[in-house]
Structure 1
Amino acid sequence: MQECPYAEKCYRKNPIHFKEYSHAHLDCIYAKGIAAGSNEYDIPAKYSNELINLQLKLLEKLFPKADKEDAAKATITRTTTAANPVRMEQPTSTQLASTSRAAGASKDNSNLAKKQKLNERNIRDYIPVVVEKGRMAKKLERAAPYNMFLTAITDSKPTHQEPLSITLQEILDESLGDIESSVQINFMIDIGWLLGHYYFAGILDKPLLVLYGDESPELLGIGKFKPQVTAIKVNMPTPFATSHTKMMLLGYADNSMRVVISTANLYEDDWHNRTQGLWISPRLPALPDDADTAAGESRTGFKQDLMLYLVEYKISQLQPWIARIRKSDFSAVNVFFVGSVPGGHRESAVRGHPWGCARLGSLLAKHAAPIDDRIPVVCQSSSIGSLGANVQAWIQQDFVNNLRKDSSPVGRLRQLPAFKMIYPSFGNVSRSHDGMLGGGCLPYGKNTNDKQPWLKNHLQQWKSGDRHRSQAMPHIKSYTRFNLEEQCVYWFVLTSANLSKAAWGSFNKNSNIQPCLRIANYEAGVLFLPRFVTGEETFPLGNARDGVPAFPLPYDVPLTPYGPDDTPFLMDYLQG
């Protein structure tokens, strides 16, 4: 088993990480605990007691104490392996993460240590789902007009051939263009795993700008070893704020570019057995040198909104990319950009509400077809924030109050639509491809859940049989309204934003001043509105309509409510 590159500084709490990487200091503490027959561990003072205890609990689940002899052997083996980590020259062991599976035995990669270089023949040792090169452009063409994909699931073979399944390697495929530089904006980035994909795509030496949110020690000073990589930690104004956006900007040798909006972090677990969503823009050609400054905008204003969003980072290294976007033709883009940026935001006369749920509400009020108030707002995310003491506190007052909007005439008497939330139950996770470890991407805790018992009345199971992903836990985040009787979808949002005030914003309650929407996070998503995508009032649901393909919902409908005995999956199940 490969030693974690963080070693004693590892702060990970993801169970799959501990299935794939050994940690000599943890193994030593764990082995001593087994030998002493104690339920408590003797943790040296130099470590964080709380963090180490949590990580040891994860080891207990992976290597149970029940069979003490086998567990002791396992820890000895892990410790011995960790003391003699294997190194490779191209790329190094810290540049390519092991692809050992979370639910099965770790793959022995020792034979790879003998090879100085990677080549096409052993790509499958690092990337579990490999498709034939050169075909992505045709796949994207066939995905029109939505251009929305779900990630291929390692343990669900039907998804490997599904027309709307995708791998990271396909996004980098040469058929989409000759990548000469790129930007990766994400929360969690395993730079070794990412550079492995760049290597196999033949673009390892191309300039790469990385903006990341989560602490990543291996990204500090990476430019000394990989001069083509510039890595910048996004500084946040408050301790609990998160740079949570998942976005790619791909620049091609012919000066065209492409934008990808995703829900997946850039590390292996998120592209393994988790359901993720991605929107891929058309190829965006360069405008003529003498083009007007307002040229190349889409009907949705996507170009301007994207530039305004990137400016909010206040990072000088993004300036050349903002300039490149300004000089690119975005007229083929048919979706709206919906972002969140930290701070307090008020409505302006020119742009309306700029960010968060208020921005989404403004767009719906202007462009969404009239919707019957009986049609629920359906939310789905991989985490749930602290929503308040009752459904009225934030869900109805701020969130649903914006998502219920449409272009109906002002003054019409309206009622709040129902709120439904798709979130995996304990049963959903226990039956997942990775068993209980499948819940590693669902950081909803008992403390928060206990404070909002009302939420259970709104919860729906995760089911995605039509897309072969019922056992692939959802890290995707989506929001929509659809009508089962009329078999139509009114609008759909794919975004990095979980259901939380930090992601979407909450209004101040001071009536003496203009309402201010306070947002903590950076988030990015796209809004699909039928009038701009298909020219109709709604999207077809389930089956094509008059030559327009059905909108590819990521889950099954009708929805399945929680039963009396169902409970939402809580991260505490992996820690207790």
Structure 2
Amino acid sequence: MAEKLKKCPYGEQCYRKNPIHFGEFSHPHLDKIYENGLDSKTSKYVIPDDLFMSAELIETQLKLLEKLFPKTKSRGSSSEIGNSDGKGIDSIRSSRCLDGGKIKADSVKRSKSPVASTSASCGLPSNATSISSTDNSNLSKKAKITRNIKDYIPVVLEKGHAADKLERAAPYNFFLTAITDAKLTHHEPLTITFQEILDESLGEIESSVQINFMVEIGWLLGHYYFAGIMGTPLLILYGDETPELANISKTHPEVTAVKVNMPTPFATSHAKVMLLGYTDGGMRVVISTANLYEDDWHNRTQGIWISPKLPALPANVDTTAGESPTNFRHDLMLYLVEYKIAKLQPWIARIRKTDFSSINVFFIGSTPGGFREGPRGYSWGHARVGELLQKYCTAVDARVPVICQSSSIGSLGPNIQTWIQHDFLNSLRKHSGPPGLTHFPPFKMIYPSFGNVSNSHDGLLGGGCLPYGASTNDKQSWLRGHLFQWCSKQRYRSQAMPHIKSYTRMKLEDQSIYWFMLTSANLSKAAWGAFNKNVNIAPCLRIMNYEAGVLFLPRFVTGEETFPLGHVRDGIPAFPLPYDVPLTPYTPDDKPFLMDYLHQ
């Protein structure tokens, strides 16, 4: 029954539970069990002994096959999963098979992990494209939804409540993504799904931009379909080689996809930014750590910052009107200009005419190139963060640690002084108080251990989003003494491996957070930049990647000097950390998870 489907590249290791995946890929081991039918005595499927350890998962997958491909019908029939006339989402099913593909994390090319996405379409009917891209009134009413969203998207929350959820998330507007296999996360107030970001209660979307590294177009357009906005103009800037995006406009003329060209083979367009334009002229900015493909929104911990709705400015107002106290609009426009992509120009013009005054965070970007200090200091990377901290962060005792957390680690040098202290901590230790001690603050790094990953929702395959290799780890053995486990019991995500990247400085003794940063940038020179070491020339910060994030500074978010940690303080809610504190150190037997473990 699977002759017309491609074989799943995961083979018997496939952990997927999404009908979309099973509509595109065959699984010979499951097909054989399914064709043999139920045992007459137990009324259950007979799971072979060699697959017994995965019996529970296999039974769930077999139920999906029952639903998608009843035995009275042929599994190869295109009518089972939507028309394949070249116009619906079926026509843009991608084939992001893992072997032979490439994925870049930080500055090093790596082969794709066994958990990287094999893009699958939503199997939607061709009439999903019937919304006119030139008539954007009452968009949701024009979209004729002919499929059940719960058959395609694992976690579905009731429509119409996203605006209320965002309002209750103030003043931080900081969410984590829903975890499919952790039901307690589904209704957590600060959990968000991709579908909710597109929810009409936040505004009626008439056009949008998606800037990301990896884009699974079938998955993305499936969400647009169920949001009732498929057919609206969509500009995609992507970093990873994605052949199916190259000619997407032939089947979906409303979609424009542009590959971001990088100056070197080791540089990455790694930012994750959404610009959502609404029919009333307003817009919204979303900064994320998640790629736009199924696995990143499945069982991985991701961070999302969502701006308030930003109204259009009245005509003929002064060009300085509508800027945020943090100069977010200026910095965002400056960042978008760095892409040098003509298709972004209308959006840059739109941003210039939009009121950003309600935004209370700083935009933190990285762009490729070599940068010297200008009239307003450094514009990008860790040096930009340092300048903001020096201006606006309250005085911090030198003994208060800088806590870093990312999903990959770059080549940091043979000792902690080489780059971590000389560059990175030298910027992140800054504050507006007197210099005080010249010591560097303690450096703590949260990175999943082998035990964290093996106990994750997806077992060792959960480490597919952690592309830190043995060749790099072996050259920086000093890092082992600074590592801490991934632990997120309070947010129900200890088993959801972190693809989120965050940086902060906090003092547990008085339950205070001095600042917090959410970003696409992993701990690497490529993402944050490294200064030249030649003392005879002016300092030059060299950055390889495009990255984007937001910096939360208390003075702008709450009007206080620090954020409360773990409890409400004077009516101000605690900052919603994605992990537990105090941190959990590695035990003597622990070791960091390395991508190499998936290939042994």
* Bucket of the pairwise TM-score, normalised by the shorter protein: 0.7 to 0.9
SS in 2 for 1:479: strand
TM-fit CA distance, 1:16: 6.4
TM-fit CA distance, 1:122: 1.4
* Counterpart in the other structure of 1:394: 419
Determine if contact 1:301/1:336 at 8 Å carries over to the other structure.
Answer: yes
CA distance in 2 between counterparts of 1:487 and 1:2 reads 57
Return the match for 1:357 from 382, 386, 395. Answer: 382
Determine if contact 1:433/1:471 at 8 Å carries over to the other structure.
Answer: yes
Trace 1:435-474 onto structure 2 (pairs within 5 A): 435-474=459-498
Number of equivalenced pairs: 521
TM-fit CA distance, 1:513: 1.3
CA distance in 1 between counterparts of 2:556 and 2:443 reads 26
* Counterpart in the other structure of 2:192: 166
Unaligned 5+ residue runs, structure 1?
A: 28-61, 65-69
SS in 1 for 2:89: coil
Return the match for 1:512 from 536, 544, 550. Answer: 536
SS in 1 for 2:267: coil
Distance change >3 Å, CA 25–CA 113, structure 1 → 2? closer
Determine if contact 2:366/2:547 at 8 Å carries over to the other structure.
Answer: yes
2:563 counterpart of 1:566: no
SS in 2 for 1:93: helix
Distance change >3 Å, CA 229–CA 3, structure 1 → 2? farther
Q: Percent identity?
A: 68
Residues 227-258 of structure 1 show CA distances to partners (whole Å, capped at 9, x for unaligned) of 00000000000000000000000000000000
CA distance in 1 between counterparts of 2:167 and 2:23 reads 43
CA distance in 1 between counterparts of 2:369 and 2:447 reads 28
SS in 1 for 2:480: helix
SS in 2 for 1:286: coil
* Counterpart in the other structure of 2:104: none
2:523 counterpart of 1:529: no
CA distance in 2 between counterparts of 1:512 and 1:15 reads 56
* Counterpart in the other structure of 1:314: 340
CA distance in 2 between counterparts of 1:143 and 1:96 reads 36
CA distance in 2 between counterparts of 1:498 and 1:392 reads 19
Return the match for 1:345 from 371, 378, 385. Answer: 371
Q: Which amino acid aligns with 2:406?
A: S
SS in 1 for 2:586: coil
CA distance in 2 between counterparts of 1:270 and 1:248 reads 16
TM-fit CA distance, 1:113: 8.8
* Counterpart in the other structure of 1:408: 433
Residues 36-66 of structure 1 show CA distances to partners (whole Å, capped at 9, x for unaligned) of xxxxxxxxxxxxxxxxxxxxxxxxxx989xx
Distance change >3 Å, CA 18–CA 446, structure 1 → 2? farther
CA distance in 1 between counterparts of 2:231 and 2:126 reads 20
Determine if contact 1:383/1:442 at 8 Å carries over to the other structure.
Answer: yes
Determine if contact 2:514/2:554 at 8 Å carries over to the other structure.
Answer: yes
Return the match for 2:353 from 327, 339, 354. Answer: 327
Unaligned 5+ residue runs, structure 2?
A: 29-49, 53-57, 66-73, 96-112, 129-143
RMSD: 3.5
TM-score (norm 2): 0.81
CA distance in 2 between counterparts of 1:199 and 1:406 reads 47
Q: Which amino acid aligns with 2:443?
A: F
Distance change >3 Å, CA 342–CA 103, structure 1 → 2? closer
SS in 1 for 2:284: strand
TM-fit CA distance, 1:483: 0.7
CA distance in 2 between counterparts of 1:429 and 1:251 reads 39
TM-fit CA distance, 1:96: 6.6
* Counterpart in the other structure of 2:403: 378
Residues 164-211 of structure 1 show CA distances to partners (whole Å, capped at 9, x for unaligned) of 000000000000000000000000000010000000000001000000
Trace 1:474-553 onto structure 2 (pairs within 5 A): 474-553=498-577
Q: Which amino acid aligns with 2:211?
A: I
CA distance in 1 between counterparts of 2:266 and 2:3 reads 30
Trace 1:136-155 onto structure 2 (pairs within 5 A): 136-155=162-181
TM-score (norm 1): 0.84
SS in 1 for 2:505: strand
Distance change >3 Å, CA 461–CA 321, structure 1 → 2? same
